[in-house]
Amino acid sequence: MQKQNISIPPAFKHRRFVIFWLSMMISTAGSQMQLWALFWHLRTLSDQPIVVSGIGLARFLPILILSLIGGLVADMFNRRKVMFASQIVMTLVSAIFGLLTCFDMIQIWHMYILTAIQAAALAFDMPARQALMPNLVPREDLPSAFSLQSMAFNIGSVVGPGLSGIVIALLGQSWTYFIDAISFGAVIISLLIIGNVNQEINPIVRRQGLNLDAIKEGVAFIRAQPIILSSMILDFFATFFSSANTLLPFITRDILKVGAVEYGWLSAAQPFGAVGVGLFFSQKAKIRKQGSLLLWSVVAFGIATIVFGLSRNFWLSLLALAIIGGSDAISTILRNTIRQMVTPDAMRGRMVSVNQIFFMGGPQLGEIEAGMVAQALGTPMAVITGGLGCILAVLWIGRKWPALPAYSGEDAQPV
């Protein structure tokens, strides 16, 4: 019987990418632990779903205001240094979170303000991070790199939420914030080790500085690329209708009747389902029929969301969340690959910054929508109607932009 060897993912052949990948996985674990612990913390301070889901607005508004500027900064300056500065800010915010909680001084308005500051730093960090990736691997290894990036995020997202319940139960709420602050150090160290990278900076953009014309150029590029534009709109509406993460503490306590440890398991179920998907796609040199696969993955995302909303059983809920995570991972890998493959390096920061508004706006505004529906119709109905809305959004986008389901990805070239 012939043995089948599992090959090393192509992107793992590049040392600097491996270092960066490991650091992002560690940092993601800390950030996801902090995020889910924050939802739980807010739930202990208020029994109003809108108060908990409202944290999404605090996360989204700074990104909406600063994201386009952050993308231009990523195209004008050294992306590694931009990331370094933003990571320092996020480290300090998490440390302040921990200190206020440790000394029992934390209030809801503190949590909103600190979350907004951290989101402002993220508005600069995310475009620089996404645009840095193609500077670490050659073009032909980009699909593998983005699959591995998705897998790193999801591994960290399995470990982080799973730890949140355990850390809260054993060490207390404040330690979730302190550990998050420490985890940012992994990225800071990796950026020092990586050193300078080959980055294409348009000299005209550098001379123009931070002005409206350079930002308009990035927006015009997106509008001229129907595949990129439609994938961003799909991302927004799908996550807007199916974003109910802030309702998970209410589902855990009030619907499933379980506690903090089970909450950690439920929080980790989505990224756990995504890890296997990321590992599979990381082996793929080419991904065929990318457009149709993208749409079907979002349909699966919506169906699993409906099942989760209907479930009253802990294990069925766990399974539904794992399927949600797996289908979302497929969608994320395809969206990132499509956009980066057709975008020139000098435009990548601005492209990512526009995408960031869709990527962050959908979930954050969706959390508020879910909180309002939960307040009016109940938590399960908020989840179920969100899943239905997600499926309807896919049907509309598939008809509105037929080029998206027809897209294969085999002939993608930067313009």
Number of domains in the chain: 1
As a whole-number percent, the residues of the chain with pLDDT over 70 amount to 89
pLDDT band at residue 92 using 50, 70 and 90 as cut-offs: very high
Note the pLDDT tens digit of each residue in 240-252.
Answer: 877 666 788 888 8
Residue 118 has pLDDT above 70, yes or no: yes
Is 221 within a domain?
yes
In angstroms, the Cα distances linking 392 to 4, 167, 272, 307, 389 are: 41, 39, 27, 16, 5
144 within a domain of the structure (yes/no):
yes
CA atoms in the 13 A half-sphere facing the CB of 73: 20
CATH of the domain at 302: 1.20.1250.20
Q: What helix, strand, coil percent values describe the chain, rounded to 5?
A: 85, 0, 15
Domain-located, residue 54? yes
Say if 5 falls within a structural domain.
Answer: no
In-domain check, residue 1: no
| Comparison of pLDDT for 367 and 228, the residue scoring more | 228
* pLDDT higher than 70, residue 282: no
d(CA 108, CA 114): 10
Tens-place pLDDT, residues 200-238: 555 555 555 556 766 777 778 878 788 888 888 888 888
Over residues 21-45, the mean pLDDT reads: 87
Give pLDDT, residue 208.
Answer: 56
Residue 207: helix, strand or coil by DSSP?
Answer: helix
pLDDT band at 356 (very low <50, low <70, confident <90, very high): confident
- The single-letter code of the amino acid at 245 is N
Residue 3 domain flag: no
Minimal CA–CA distance to 145: which of 158, 156, 129? Answer: 129
Range of the domain at 161: 10-193+203-406
Q: Which two tokens stand for residue 238?
A: 């799908």
Residue 227 lies in a domain: yes
Distance separating alpha carbons of residues 95 and 261, to the nearest angstrom: 24
| Whether residue 192 has pLDDT greater than 80 | yes
* pLDDT given at position 211: 62
Within a domain: residue 413? no
